[in-house]
Structure 1
C-alpha cells in the first residue's frame, strides 16, 4: 500500500475533476483495486494507469493490481512444481536406463511420451499406469529415490544465500542501467 501512496504523489491529479459521481472512498487518491481473475486468481494484481472519465482525457488515476502473492501463502504450488519436476527427471532417468538395457521398452516409452507429456506428474503417471503398470511403478520409485537424494544434498542456507546474492546482483545491474554517466563530448572548460 505504501507503493500505491508514493505512486499517487508522483502524478499530478485533480481529484475534484475526476468523475464527481464517485464516492469519497473511491476518490481518495483515485486508487482502486481490481482483480484479474475474480474467483480463480484472487491474488494476481497489477499496476496500471486508468483514465478517470472519457470527458477529461488528460486526467489519469492509478489502478493497483497485485501480481504477487501474500506472505501467508501455503506454497502448495511450489510443492506441485517440485513433484512435477521430479517426475520429469525420473522419466528422463528411466529413459536413459531403458535405452541401455531394454531398447524395446525404450521405444514404447518414447512413443508414449510423444502424446503424453510429463509436465503434470500425477496425470502422466496415471495414464502410464493404465498402459504399462511396470513402467509407471518404475517412474514412481525413481522419482522418490531422486527426491531422497536431493533432500540429502539440499542446503537450504546455501539456496537462501544464492537467491539473496542473485537479487543483489540484479538490483546492482538495474542501478547501473539507470545511472547517466557524463559524456566526454561536453567540454565544461571553454576558454572564451
Structure 2
C-alpha cells in the first residue's frame, strides 16, 4: 500500500514497520530522471523494510541487473523508446470523427438532401473513422471526402495551438492521485459510533 501511495507523490508511513516512503516529484519526471527501481519506494534507512531485509541475496543480485519498467515489447504499454504509432493513429481517427460530425452539422443547416445521404452513409459505416472510412467515402462522394479531410486538418491545427502538454500531464497526475485517494477511503474501516444508540427498555 505504501508503494502505491508513493507513486502518486504522497509521503506516508507503512503501518507494519513505520516505513517512510520517498515521494516522486514532478521535477524528476520532467528531467527524465525517473527510475522505477525499488529504492524509490523503500527508504534504505528503514531496518525491517530495506532491500536487505525483504529480499534474499540472489534476488538482490537480480534486482541490481534488472530494473522495473513499463510493460515490455508486445505488452500493453510498450517501452518509452517506442514511437507510439498506435496513439498517433488514434489521434488521426479521433479528428476524422470530429470532422465528420462537424461536416454533418454543416450539411444539416445548408444542404438537407446531402445531410440525409451522409447520415445514412455514417449509420451504415462498419469500419470506424480511420483511413478505410475516408477511402470508401472518396469512392462514393469525392467532394464530401475532401471536405472531411480539410476539416480534420483544420480542427487538428486549432487543437495544437490550444493544447498545453504540462496541463495534460498535471491532469493525468491529479486523476491518478484522486483515484488512489478514493480507493484508500473505500478500504479504510471506520469505527462504528455507538454513542447515539438509545436503549429501549
Common topology (TM > 0.5): yes
CA pair 99-118 structure 1, distance change in 2 beyond 3 A: farther
Residue aligning to 1:104? 113
> Aligned pairs, how many?
127
Residue aligning to 2:74? 43
Tell me, which stretches of 5 or more residues in structure 1 are unaligned?
4-40, 45-66, 187-192
Structure with more relative contact order (C-alpha pairs < 8 Å, separation 6 or more): 2
Matches within 5 A, 1:79-118: 79-117=88-126
Greater strand fraction, Structure 1 or Structure 2:
1
- Shift in Å at residue 118 of structure 1? 6.3
Residue aligning to 1:123? 132
CA pair 118-150 structure 1, distance change in 2 beyond 3 A: farther
CA distance in 2, matches of 1:122, 1:82: 12
Contact kept in structure 1, 2:134 and 2:145, CA below 8 Å: yes
Match 1:183 to one of 186, 192, 199: 192
CA distance in 1, matches of 2:127, 2:74: 28
Contact kept in structure 1, 2:107 and 2:115, CA below 8 Å: yes
Tell me, which stretches of 5 or more residues in structure 2 are unaligned?
1-35, 39-71, 196-201
Q: Give TM-score scaled by structure 1 length.
A: 0.60
4+ runs deviating over 6 angstroms: none
CA pair 155-117 structure 1, distance change in 2 beyond 3 A: farther
Contact kept in structure 2, 1:87 and 1:118, CA below 8 Å: no
Match 2:82 to one of 73, 76, 99: 73
Q: Give TM-score scaled by structure 2 length.
A: 0.58
CA distance in 1, matches of 2:127, 2:162: 24
Match 1:157 to one of 166, 178, 183: 166
- Shift in Å at residue 83 of structure 1? 0.5
Contact kept in structure 1, 2:107 and 2:114, CA below 8 Å: yes
- Shift in Å at residue 117 of structure 1? 4.6
- Shift in Å at residue 183 of structure 1? 2.1
Contact kept in structure 2, 1:87 and 1:143, CA below 8 Å: yes
